[in-house]
């Protein structure tokens, strides 16, 4: 039986993920230099693993928690939001989610009706686009200004607003470009949202990883716009907890009450064992964040200097945050990013992600959340590949 006729138009129209395609192709090749995942390669710190094991052994993890996440964790999250994001929150304004992704999905589902437009700056994280499409909304993609470090174009943003626009969704620090929106830009986004009666959904997954003296600013900390902002965060990047699937969002109590209605059919609650791990992550020593940060700074600088040596192949904007960069291919024969990435994989054994996956054709994404040797291995191979 062919299942084709049973698949919804929404799902059928979603293209296969280029990220997963590259992963599958990479697995078929031995000894690949792997720059294609945005996943921390360090393991979760031991004290977090131990706290989760203890919670299991104490029999605390076999049931559901409150839908919003257990109270002790939500209280700890409010302390972190006050200390690091300057967001004053009450535990009733927190929803613990299955990673940032489920929080974003639930938030988008809660806000978007069929046909509503949602503005997303690109290049951007394609999952945001899919979330809007799955909610039957219409993603409206606005280009960023590449030669100014993929800065947000506020005129484009204002011009993209129509009577159907409901929301703006963005990640800062950005995946895939590493751009970090400044406080000034974020205040301008907030003004545009107020003037046009829009909501703002943020993805702050890389909040702790900014460089060159640039500080992460949370738009949710701006006075008086609480009802318009849904801010999402995660333990995935900060504490190298990808597989635990735990994150959280902050919004007003009224928003949380509505978002919970989407959260319950998605997951009932975030995994309870992961909530215990998250509690320890927030309460325990924080030195892993500094350790990860200095590693990413070192590997960013290394990747940039190795890219400088390939100046006939790539130009790039130095990422100010995240652990990703998005070089542009300058040779005319390299403009199809998928063909380029597959050729690089098959001939040079270097795995990257084609820019088309992020609405950034003519680019590839490279991750520097890897050991320095991996970057050297990849660039030694690329130098040989491009010189032949
Ligand atoms: C911008 C961004 N948001 C969210 C995620 C995933 O977050 P989580 O693991 O918390 O669902 C990623 C992962 O790569 C990401 O790059």
Number of structural domains (the chain) is 2
Q: Whose CA is nearest to atom 7 of ligand 1?
A: 100
Residue 54 lies in a domain: no
Strand pairing of 117-122 and 33-34? unpaired
Q: Whose CA is nearest to atom 3 of ligand 1?
A: 205
Ligand 1 atom closest to residue 246's alpha carbon, by position in its atom list: 10
40-96 per-position pLDDT tens digit: 778 999 999 999 999 999 999 999 999 999 999 999 999 999 999 999 999 999 999
232 & 307 share domain: no
Ligand 1 atom closest to residue 174's alpha carbon, by position in its atom list: 1
| Mutation choice for ligand 1 from 37, 108, 127, CB with most ligand atoms inside 8 A | 127
| Span from the CA of 185 to the centroid of ligand 1 (angstroms) | 22
| Mutation choice for ligand 1 from 101, 105, 325, 359, CB with most ligand atoms inside 8 A | 101
CA distances to 44, 127, 302, 351, 364 from 323, rounded to whole Å, are 17, 18, 12, 16, 14
333 & 249 share domain: no
What residues are in contact with ligand 1 under a 6 Å CB criterion?
38, 99-101, 125, 171, 175, 203, 205, 234, 236, 242, 247
The predicted pLDDT at position 211 comes to: 98
Residue 49 lies in a domain: no
243 & 94 share domain: yes
351 & 227 share domain: no
Label residue 17 by pLDDT band (50, 70, 90): confident
Cα dihedral sign, 81-82-88-89: positive
311-363 per-position pLDDT tens digit: 999 999 999 999 999 999 999 888 899 999 999 999 999 999 999 999 999 99
Residue 275 lies in a domain: yes
pLDDT at 19 over 90: no
The two tokens of residue 267 are 């997951």
Q: Whose CA is nearest to atom 14 of ligand 1?
A: 38
Provide the CATH number for the domain around residue 383.
3.90.1150.10
| Span from the CA of 124 to the centroid of ligand 1 (angstroms) | 12
- Strands of 353-354's sheet in order across: 324-325, 364-367, 353-354
SS3 content of the chain, % helix, strand, coil (to 5): 50, 15, 35
Residue 53 lies in a domain: no
Is the Cβ–Cβ distance between 382 and 46 less than 8 Å? Answer: no
pLDDT at 215 over 80: yes
Is the Cβ–Cβ distance between 179 and 319 less than 8 Å? Answer: yes
Residue 18 lies in a domain: yes
**Structural domain of residue 113, as residue ranges?**
61-283
Provide the CATH number for the domain around residue 140.
3.40.640.10
Give the helix ranges, DSSP H, for the chain.
9-12, 18-27, 46-57, 71-80, 99-111, 126-134, 154-160, 183-196, 253-267, 272-283, 287-308, 337-348, 372-387
């Amino acid at each position: 039986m062919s299942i084709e006729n049973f698949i919804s138009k929404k799902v059928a129209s979603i293209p296969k993920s280029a990220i997963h395609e590259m992963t599958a192709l990479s697995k078929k090749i031995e000894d690949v230099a792997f720059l294609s995942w945005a996943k921390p390669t360090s393991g979760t710190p031991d004290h977090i693993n131990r706290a989760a094991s203890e919670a299991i052994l104490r029999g605390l993890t076999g049931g559901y928690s409150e839908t919003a996440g257990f109270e002790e964790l939500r209280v700890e999250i409010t302390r972190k939001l006050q200390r690091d994001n300057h967001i004053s929150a009450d535990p009733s304004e927190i929803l613990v989610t299955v990673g940032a992704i489920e929080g974003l999905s639930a938030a988008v589902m809660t806000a978007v009706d069929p046909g509503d437009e949602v503005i997303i700056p690109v290049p951007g994280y394609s999952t945001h686009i899919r979330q809007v499409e799955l909610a039957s909304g219409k993603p409206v993609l606005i280009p960023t200004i590449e030669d100014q470090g993929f800065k947000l174009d506020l005129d484009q943003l204002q011009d993209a607003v129509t009577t159907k626009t409901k929301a703006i969704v963005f990640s800062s620090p950005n995946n895939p470009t590493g751009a970090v929106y400044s406080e000034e830009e974020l205040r301008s986004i907030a003004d545009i949202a107020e003037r046009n009666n829009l909501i703002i959904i943020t993805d702050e997954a890389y909040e702790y990883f900014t460089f060159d003296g640039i500080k992460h600013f949370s738009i949710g900390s701006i006075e008086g716009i609480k009802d318009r902002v849904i801010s999402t965060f995660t333990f995935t990047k900060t504490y190298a907890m990808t597989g635990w699937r735990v994150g959280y969002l902050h919004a007003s109590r009224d928003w949380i009450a509505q978002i919970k209605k989407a959260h319950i059919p998605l997951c009932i609650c975030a995994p309870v064992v992961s909530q215990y791990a998250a509690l320890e992550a927030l309460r325990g020593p924080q030195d892993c964040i500094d350790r990860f940060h200095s590693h990413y700074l070192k590997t960013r600088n290394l990747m940039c200097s190795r890219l400088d040596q390939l100046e006939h192949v790539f130009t790039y904007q130095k990422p100010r945050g995240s652990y990703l960069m998005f070089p542009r291919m300058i040779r005319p024969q390299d403009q199809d990013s998928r063909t380029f990435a597959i050729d690089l994989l098959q001939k040079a054994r270097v795995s990257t992600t084609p820019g088309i996956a992020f609405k950034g054709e003519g680019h590839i994404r490279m991750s520097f959340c890897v050991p320095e040797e991996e970057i050297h291995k990849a660039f030694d191979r690329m130098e040989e590949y491009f010189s032949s």
